[in-house]
């Protein structure tokens, strides 16, 4: 009898241990989530500056159904320029919610960050990536293409209403004499908010920027003398006492490029390593006088229109060629293009001193049709344009 009791207790113990073991090995099953479906309130947006604080685009998406508290689910909205497969996407993270929205200012900032131009329509791709909070179990939604037109952001510093900008100061050839000598101390207007120029500056001196030549009433200046000569923030002194200090010129005399950006309210000063000629002449089979050198003056002489640009309007024959000369009657130095593939409408050109620069040793292509054309040679970036 004693042995039977022992056997019974042994079997019961095994049964209990087996039950406990089975309990430990059993785990709760969590089902996988599913791919979310992304929707947008609109696919065409062209806001104005007045809309900057308004919501112009709303997103919503279906619940991926993760086996967790929905408040901890993570959603990443990715936006990129169309066709780049989100290789340079901007990411916006949302936790828990199944929707998000963007103001005109937010999406405009994203678009401009992609290098988009103002008032030009571009396509941007948008998708959603869902996951747990730790990024596990990611699902990628459908892609929606948004057509967006960036609007112009008001510049941080108001550009000159005259659409002209002048350099004055002890660092310049004209000193503090006002009005300043033009065109050598006039900037080139690159676009509505960017100006640039190439200037010969004397070391260790100062300067200011003027919107109106000969007028001291309003000027562009810096806040104090700590702003470095290489550039920084600047402002408009028209009623603003905070900007009342001269710009510091470079320590060393020489040629410099000054770029002024009114959109950001910043400027930069860098050494200029190329050449701005004192004069410029047009010669070639595309001209009335052919390759005769010296060329007739003034009909084939460029006019300097600011510190970095020269312009000429002249009749050109069909399918001819030409060169630009810094000195009339002298073939030693010239401005030319890299090869015959540079279009007649314009492109890059370079300087060939003493015929020692093989990279720029080809004649410019003249237009296919005879007519009167304007050629602008820009020595700020060594680009030229030809228009009829």
Q: What is the pLDDT of residues 110-136, one digit of tens each?
A: 999 999 988 999 999 999 999 999 999
One domain, residues 302 and 382: yes
Host domain of residue 188: 166-271
CB burial of 31-56 (b: ≥16 within 10 Å; e: otherwise) equals eebeebebeeeeeebebeeebbeeeb
pLDDT at 239: 65
Ranges under pLDDT 50 in the chain: 1-29
One domain, residues 264 and 298: no
Q: Which residues make Cβ contacts (< 8 Å) with residue 151, sequence separation at least 6? A: 46, 47, 48, 49, 51, 104, 108, 118, 119
Please tell me the total count of domains within the chain.
3
pLDDT at 16: 42
The verdict on residue 226 lying in a domain is yes
One domain, residues 335 and 357: yes
pLDDT at 30: 52
Question: How far apart, in whole angstroms, are the C-alpha atoms of residue 222 and residue 335?
Answer: 38
One domain, residues 172 and 257: yes
The verdict on residue 322 lying in a domain is yes
pLDDT at 69: 84
One domain, residues 84 and 126: yes
pLDDT at 276: 98
What Cα–Cα distance (Å) separates residue 308 from each residue in 304, 353, 382? 8, 19, 9
pLDDT at 153: 87
Boundary residue ending a domain (271, 295, 315): 271
Residue in this structure with the two tokens 């314009």, named with its chain if needed: 346
- Tokens for 19, please give them: 């039950």
The verdict on residue 158 lying in a domain is no
Q: Report the run of H or E that residue 165 belongs to, with start and end.
A: none
């Amino acid at each position: 009898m004693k042995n039977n009791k022992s056997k019974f207790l042994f079997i019961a113990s095994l049964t209990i241990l087996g039950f406990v073991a089975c309990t430990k090995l059993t785990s709760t099953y969590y089902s996988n989530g599913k791919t979310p479906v992304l929707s947008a309130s609109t696919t065409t947006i062209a806001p104005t500056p007045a809309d900057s604080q308004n919501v112009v685009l709303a997103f919503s998406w279906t619940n991926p159904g993760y086996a967790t508290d929905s408040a901890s689910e993570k959603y990443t909205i990715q936006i990129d320029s169309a066709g780049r497969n989100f290789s340079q996407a901007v990411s916006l993270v949302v936790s828990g919610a199944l929707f998000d929205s963007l103001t005109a200012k937010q999406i405009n900032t994203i678009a401009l960050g992609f290098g988009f131009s103002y008032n030009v329509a571009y396509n941007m791709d948008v998708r959603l990536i869902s996951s747990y909070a730790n990024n596990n179990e990611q699902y990628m939604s459908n892609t929606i293409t948004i057509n967006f037109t960036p609007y112009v952001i008001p510049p941080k510093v108001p550009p000159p209403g005259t659409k002209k900008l002048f350099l004055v100061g002890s660092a310049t050839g004209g000193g503090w004499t006002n009005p300043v000598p033009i065109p050598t101390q006039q900037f080139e207007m690159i676009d509505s908010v960017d100006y640039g120029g190439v200037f010969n500056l004397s070391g260790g001196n100062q300067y200011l920027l003027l919107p109106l030549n000969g007028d001291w009433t309003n000027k562009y200046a810096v806040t104090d003398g700590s702003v470095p000569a290489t550039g920084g923030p600047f402002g408009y002194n028209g009623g603003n006492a905070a900007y009342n200090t001269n710009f510091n010129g470079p320590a060393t005399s020489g040629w410099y490029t000054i770029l002024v950006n009114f959109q950001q309210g910043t400027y930069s000063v860098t050494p200029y390593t190329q050449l701005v000629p004192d004069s410029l002449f047009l010669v070639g089979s595309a001209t009335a006088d052919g390759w005769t050198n010296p060329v007739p003056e003034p009909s084939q002489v460029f006019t300097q229109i600011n510190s970095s640009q020269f312009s000429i309007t002249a009749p050109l024959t069909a399918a001819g060629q030409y060169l630009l000369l810094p000195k009339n009657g002298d073939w030693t130095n010239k401005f030319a293009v890299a090869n015959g593939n540079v279009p007649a409408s314009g492109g890059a050109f370079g300087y060939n001193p003493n015929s020692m620069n093989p990279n720029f040793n080809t004649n410019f292509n003249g237009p296919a049709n005879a007519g009167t054309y304007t050629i602008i040679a820009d020595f700020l970036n060594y680009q030229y344009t030809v228009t009829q």
